[in-house]
Structure 1
């Protein structure tokens, strides 16, 4: 992920996930409460997993770039999985 283009792809994917989920929530407002709660929990888990991975990388003495990559990896994985799921739904 140290390649700057990968960060651009991650930002693009995150934007699409946000857009597609927002449209889905607007189309089905009756189920939006549960979906929003699930999405919030998903973000908290990705953040916590990244925090732990970054801590492990730092304790191993890895470079700051490697620590940052470890921190971002769970969020990148989740965003990619969400985008795949949303593309199949549409």
Structure 2
């Protein structure tokens, strides 16, 4: 479950919020001035997010290197065509 709270409420109820995340695997979105500014998630989820980010970063680097000498418009057109082709397979 995802709970949204403002920063003041979060500060006042930090212990309870930590328990929600730790024991119920909830996530807390913290807002300030009505806008989300942070999220509190359990450590396992955070580790998974970091691994996914690292894998995405590595893939982006490989793509950038592979298309280094290709004009941007041409590369994006090729990528869009490949993505469309893969989506048709599903």
TM-score, with length taken from structure 1: 0.34
Structure 1 or 2, whichever has the larger Rg, is: 2
Higher relative contact order (CA 8 A, sep 6+): 1
Task: Report which of the two has the higher share of helix.
Answer: 1
Task: Report which of the two has the higher share of strand.
Answer: 2
TM-score, with length taken from structure 2: 0.34
